[in-house]
Homo-oligomer: A and B are copies of this chain.
């Protein structure tokens, strides 16, 4: 996917705009659009959001946009996303041991995110 998007960008001469700072902003902008879809929904309504076909299409599109800019940002920064994910999961497992994290689930908001 990185290669596909890289080519898409190259064909349009858009590399000049794709520095990390700009791409972080583009990523934030797309997450903002995703946020707008969910902002007035209750948590229960949000769980049923894919039941409405129109909204489901919107959500899929926004998730794809977020994913696309994330992939592109990682590409430009030369970061291997899957490896970074794997390494972060190891850290997270240490940071939130099952016993502690479970027992303090009631105070989940006090856990660093």
Q: How far is the CB of A27 from chain B (nearest CB, A)?
A: 6
The reply on A21 being an interface residue by CB < 8 A is yes
The dominant DSSP class at the A interface is helix
> Are B81 and A63 in touch, CB under 8 angstroms?
yes
Q: Which one of A1, A26, A63 has the highest number of Cβ atoms from chain B below 10 Å of its Cβ? A: A63
> Are A21 and B43 in touch, CB under 8 angstroms?
yes
Report the Cα distance A43→B47, complex, angstroms.
14
Contact surface of A with B, Cβ cutoff 8 Å: 1, 4-5, 8, 11-14, 16-17, 19-22, 24-44, 46-47, 49-50, 55, 59-61, 63-68, 70-71, 73-74, 76-79, 81-82, 84-85, 87-89, 91-93, 96, 98, 101-102, 105, 108-109, 113
